[in-house]
Amino acid sequence: MRRLVIVSNRVAEPERQAAGGLAVCILDGLLERGGVWFGWSGDIVADESGIGVSCTRRDNVTVVTMPLTERDYAEYYLGYCNAALWPVHHYRLDLARFTQENTEAYRRVNERFAEELAPILTKTDVVWAHDYHLIALAAGLRSRGVRNRLGFFLHIPFPPPDVLMAVPEHEWLVDSFLQYDVIGFQTKMDQSNFCRFVCEHAGGEMISDDTLRAGGRIVTVSAFPVGINVDAFAEMASSAEAQKRIRWLHRCGEPRLNIIGVDRLDYTKGLPDRFRSFKRFLELHPENCKAATLMQIAPPTREEVKAYCDIRHELEALSGEINGQFGDFDWTPVRYVHRSVPRDTLAALYRGSQIGLVTPLRDGMNLVAKEYIAAQDPENPGVLILSRFAGAAEDLQEALIVNPYDVDEVAQAIHKAVIMPLEERKQRHAALLAKIREHDACNWMASFLRALDAPPIPM
């Protein structure tokens, strides 16, 4: 089997298990097959004189990392990746900021990744790059003579052509995508948005359902929905330790109805609208006052970007307002935790909650939805309320699917979940569980690698 080289903006350290299902699965796959994980170490150095790669080894995995300079961090990571590509790909053109410096930095860092990676590749390696930080990596490798099979997976949505066109250098970005041999998206909709752009604006043509001919190349373009390690998560949620945590949760105020939300504090996750929907639910169904609590775990993220400070202030004001208006000496309606909590605590919180509220305004997939399902007791499962704009909704139709912008609709869905009979909850949960098993983390990885390992399609 050919050696696998994974490239991502950040490398998850093998020793740190906290990185989440995806990183764990990538690591499991790498450990099984043997290979290299290449990316940013997370360190920031003053200038380019401090840049050099370092190498560590664990079993048959070599981890190769390099730092970013302060300027790269500001212009490439915060600037282009997170204040230009991230908002555009999440349909938030109002928040997108474009500058020539940031675009240049994106090209520069992708070139540098290619420059450091090319010499350590052997002719038979397969390379799998991840996410929007590294769209231009393949072009950098190709210009250095690399002819290996190169794959790319986009974890975030791919917008329709007229949204993408807001990026000044959108043609360059799409040409860069086409230097890969296999391009994976989370959903069929993302796949179709990309193919539409290539066929309508870049002179490409589809030669089969998942094969594009464009710019003198043949590229496989397909949907590979990301998943979680279902059994490991279910085990964590049903352990004796988790039961202890759930009892503890119930002692802290004894909510009879716990609604859980878990999201990085990102404007794409729809948290202010979620809080407003919970408020509306209390207004429309006041019999739930003193019984219902919305527990929102929202660890900080990208705080140096202004839009992220704004969303934090908005959410703090909203939780204060709801607690002030509805709360009482013996009841706090919104419990808002603005920090990261350990993964096993999350699993216990999911299991101890009767409703999982997952209402992003736009999301590539959303693993929280899948974790919530995996964590439930199949004999007495909770109800998942899921935004139609999460990639997960393409498959998980047995959830209560909602429009996250419609505060009344989400409030009514909460009510529907509260009164849902046990039999219906069990049926919906069984169907959802079967689906997340079918598309679990290991199937995701295996199906992408099958496409990448396949022989090239002749022109």
Residues that bind ligand GDG (CB under 6 A): 18, 20-22, 155-156, 226, 262, 264, 297, 299, 340-343, 346, 363-368, 371
Query: Among residues 281 and 448, whose Cβ is nearest to ligand GDG?
Result: 448
Query: Among residues 18 and 446, whose Cβ is nearest to ligand GDG?
Result: 18
How many Å apart are CA 262 and CA 76, to the nearest integer? 28
Is the separation of the CB atoms in 75 and 81 below 8 Å? Answer: no
What per-residue string of b and e applies to 293-308 under the rule 16 or more CB within 10 Å gives b?
Answer: bbbbbbeeebeebebb
> Is 155 an annotated catalytic residue?
yes
Query: Among residues 132 and 275, whose Cβ is nearest to ligand GDG?
Result: 132
> Is 363 an annotated catalytic residue?
yes
Candidate list 89, 90, 133, 155, residue with the active-site label? 155
Q: Which residue is nearest to ligand GDG (CB)?
A: 364
Type and span of the H or E element at 127: strand 126-130
As measured in angstroms, the least distance from the Cβ of 264 to ligand GDG is: 5
Spell out the residues 6+ positions from residue 389 whose beta carbon is closer than 8 angstroms to its own: 360, 361, 362, 363, 404
Nearest by Cα to 276 from 342, 325, 237: 325
Spell out the residues 6+ positions from residue 109 whose beta carbon is closer than 8 angstroms to its own: 68, 72, 76
Question: From the CB of residue 431, how many other CB atoms can be counted at a distance below 10 Å?
Answer: 14
Query: Among residues 385 and 418, whose Cβ is nearest to ligand GDG?
Result: 385
Distance, C-alpha 18 to centroid of its chain: 15
> 158: phi > 0 → left, psi -120 to 50 → alpha, else beta; which?
beta
Nearest by Cα to 111 from 78, 135, 132, 93: 135
Candidate list 363, 395, 429, 439, residue with the active-site label? 363
As measured in angstroms, the least distance from the Cβ of 18 to ligand GDG is: 6
Query: Among residues 230 and 297, whose Cβ is nearest to ligand GDG?
Result: 297
DSSP bridge pairs for 413: none
How many Å apart are CA 211 and CA 221, to the nearest integer? 6
Is the separation of the CB atoms in 410 and 359 below 8 Å? Answer: yes
How many Å apart are CA 172 and CA 136, to the nearest integer? 9
By residue count, the chain amounts to 459
Nearest by Cα to 135 from 73, 180, 187, 192: 180
Spell out the residues 6+ positions from residue 244 whose beta carbon is closer than 8 angstroms to its own: none
DSSP states of 247-314: HHHHHTT--SEEEEEE--S-GGG-HHHHHHHHHHHHHH-GGGTTTEEEEEE-----TTSHHHHHHHHH
Integer Rg of the chain from CA: 23
Structure tokens at 235: 């085990």
Count of alpha carbons within 13 Å of 396, Cβ hemisphere only?
36
As measured in angstroms, the least distance from the Cβ of 143 to ligand GDG is: 28
Tokens 């975030």: give the residue: 156
As measured in angstroms, the least distance from the Cβ of 60 to ligand GDG is: 25
Q: Using H for helix, E for strand and C for coil, what is the string for 94-123?
A: HHCCCCHHHHHHHHHHHHHHHHHHHHHCCC
Which amino acid is located at 392 in the chain? A
Query: Among residues 368 and 436, whose Cβ is nearest to ligand GDG?
Result: 368
**Catalytic site positions:** 155, 363
